[in-house]
Amino acid sequence: MSNFNDLAGFGAFMVSLWGLLPDIVRGLILAVAALFVIIGVIQLID
């Protein structure tokens, strides 16, 4: 179960880090993440 605790701690760390980012950086990260998701879905369909 320690793996889950590490994951939860990492998640909390990412959330606090996310709160420090300016909106422009958040938008950029979300755009890149969305792009990767779209590419992944296209590869799955192919």
Q: Let me know if residue 35 belongs to a domain.
A: yes
Exposed, middle or buried, 7 (CB in 10 Å: 0-12/13-18/19+)?
exposed
Give me the pLDDT at residue 3, please.
79
Q: Let me know if residue 40 belongs to a domain.
A: yes
Q: Let me know if residue 12 belongs to a domain.
A: no
Give me the pLDDT at residue 1, please.
56
C-alpha–C-alpha distance, residues 5 and 29, integer Å = 25
pLDDT in tens, the chain (46 residues): 577 888 888 889 889 988 898 999 999 999 999 999 999 999 999 8
Q: What is the pTM of this model?
A: 0.56
User: For the chain, what is the domain count?
Assistant: 1
C-alpha–C-alpha distance, residues 45 and 10, integer Å = 31
Give me the pLDDT at residue 46, please.
84
Q: Let me know if residue 4 belongs to a domain.
A: no
C-alpha–C-alpha distance, residues 33 and 2, integer Å = 27
Domain that holds residue 40: 22-46
Cβ within 8 Å of residue 26, ≥6 positions away: 18
Give me the pLDDT at residue 38, please.
97
